[in-house]
């Protein structure tokens, strides 16, 4: 039988005051009520927990053991209560996992004016979905063709991948599109640099190539972030397919050039959520804020002509 907090409090107070009558006064209860509460606790124990005498009340050996446990239990309950009060006073930030392009280029704009605390973890699109599915993140942002069927997804916008090279690259002033075979196996210029498997950008490229019966070279260099890839392209003579938003600043400064490529590299930017999981009020407020953001009030700088769709 699980004891009640009233029974534990009665036992502790009787021990502290030395008598049932004094304990009743301390608890603001009638003496018969406290006596009955203690009697029920003793019946559940199957033994006496208190010695009752005309001079006062003291614990039996069994009572001393139960007292120690009762004190620990009530202390733990007090700690839970304090933690609950703390959560109510200062709600925990909404945990967000976002793919690199969204986190670095778009999410700061979408979060502008949000009156909700957030904690953002940056990882590739597959890792984002894993975190949302496991509950480690409450909201996720991914790039690419689609989300896991276990997740609810909402369209935040669209963008496009572009082929970039340095200004000294043989393709820097090229007008005819680079073909898929030439992209993968160039004859007179640097190698194609890729993101790691699980990246949204890599998945879009792989799907576009797969439609032509092609795959990325197994020995192609792999770097773990778009920033690292852009650095490699600017300084090593390599070429890469990267999100337009990530390359735009370098293209504008003349450090990189975009080159036409004969592949459809458009993609969707998705917000993902667990299906059928109750959401905290802070998460709901943040989702409402994102809906307003993609309605145009805080629209991010998505590639012109790429288009966007309502948050739904």
Residue 226 covered by a domain: yes
Q: Based on the domain organization, do 59 and 103 belong to the same domain?
A: no
Q: Based on the domain organization, do 271 and 289 belong to the same domain?
A: yes
Q: Based on the domain organization, do 80 and 143 belong to the same domain?
A: no
Q: Which domain holds residue 33?
A: 5-89
pLDDT, residue 308, reads: 35
Residue 117 covered by a domain: yes
pLDDT, residue 296, reads: 61
Q: Based on the domain organization, do 162 and 261 belong to the same domain?
A: yes
Q: Which tens digits make up the pLDDT trace of 255-282?
A: 999 999 999 999 999 999 998 778 999 9
Q: Based on the domain organization, do 84 and 147 belong to the same domain?
A: no
**Residue 34's CATH number:** 1.10.10.10
Which tokens belong to 28? 């603001």
Contact 303, 244 (CB under 8 A): yes
Reply yes or no on whether the pLDDT at 145 is more than 70: no
pLDDT, residue 25, reads: 92
Q: Based on the domain organization, do 143 and 271 belong to the same domain?
A: yes
Q: Which residue has the higher pLDDT, 307 or 10?
A: 10
How far is Cα 200 from Cα 100, in angstroms, rounded to an integer? 9
Residue 56 covered by a domain: yes
Q: What percent of the chain is modeled with pLDDT above 90? A: 68
- Of 89, 112, 128, the one marking the end of a domain is 89
**Residue 232's CATH number:** 3.40.190.290
Number of domains in the chain: 3
Q: Based on the domain organization, do 162 and 262 belong to the same domain?
A: yes
Average pLDDT over residues 226-230: 93
Q: Based on the domain organization, do 125 and 271 belong to the same domain?
A: yes
**Residue 272's CATH number:** 3.40.190.10
Q: Which residue has the higher pLDDT, 186 or 120?
A: 120
Q: Which tens digits make up the pLDDT trace of 57-106?
A: 889 999 899 999 999 999 999 999 888 877 676 678 999 999 988 998 89
Residue 302 covered by a domain: no
Q: What percent of the chain is modeled with pLDDT above 70? A: 93
Q: Based on the domain organization, do 60 and 183 belong to the same domain?
A: no
Q: Based on the domain organization, do 243 and 166 belong to the same domain?
A: yes
Tokens 């504008």 correspond to what residue? 252
pLDDT category at 310 given cuts 50, 70, 90 is very low
Average pLDDT over residues 193-222: 92
Q: Based on the domain organization, do 271 and 145 belong to the same domain?
A: yes
């Amino acid at each position: 039988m699980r004891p009640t907090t009233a029974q534990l409090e009665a036992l502790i107070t009787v021990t502290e005051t030395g008598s049932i009558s004094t304990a009743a006064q301390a608890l603001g209860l009638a003496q018969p009520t406290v006596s009955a509460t203690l009697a029920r606790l003793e019946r559940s124990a199957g033994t006496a927990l208190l010695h009752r005498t005309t001079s006062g009340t003291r614990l039996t050996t069994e009572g001393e053991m139960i007292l120690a446990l009762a004190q620990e239990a009530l202390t733990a309950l007090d700690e839970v209560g304090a933690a609950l009060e703390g959560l109510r006073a200062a709600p925990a930030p909404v945990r967000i996992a976002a793919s690199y392009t969204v986190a670095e280029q778009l999410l700061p704009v979408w979060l502008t004016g949000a009156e909700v605390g957030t904690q953002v973890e940056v990882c590739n699109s597959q890792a984002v979905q894993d975190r949302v599915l496991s509950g480690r993140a409450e909201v996720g942002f991914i790039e690419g063709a689609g989300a896991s069927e276990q997740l609810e997804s909402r369209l935040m916008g669209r963008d496009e991948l572009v082929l970039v090279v340095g200004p000294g690259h043989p393709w820097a002033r090229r007008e005819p599109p680079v073909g898929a075979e030439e992209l993968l196996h160039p004859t007179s210029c640097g190698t194609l640099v890729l993101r790691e498997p699980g990246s949204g950008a890599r998945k879009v490229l792989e799907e576009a190539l797969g439609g032509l019966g092609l795959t990325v070279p197994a020995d192609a260099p792999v770097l773990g972030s778009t920033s690292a890839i852009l650095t490699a392209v600017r300084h090593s003579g390599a070429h890469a397919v990267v999100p337009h938003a990530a390359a735009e600043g370098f293209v504008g400064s003349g450090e990189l050039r975009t080159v036409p490529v004969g592949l459809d590299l458009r993609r969707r930017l998705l917000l993902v959520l667990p299906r059928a999981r109750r959401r905290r009020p802070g998460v709901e407020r943040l989702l409402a804020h994102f809906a307003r953001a993609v309605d145009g009030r805080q629209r991010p700088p998505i590639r012109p002509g790429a288009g966007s769709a309502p948050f739904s």
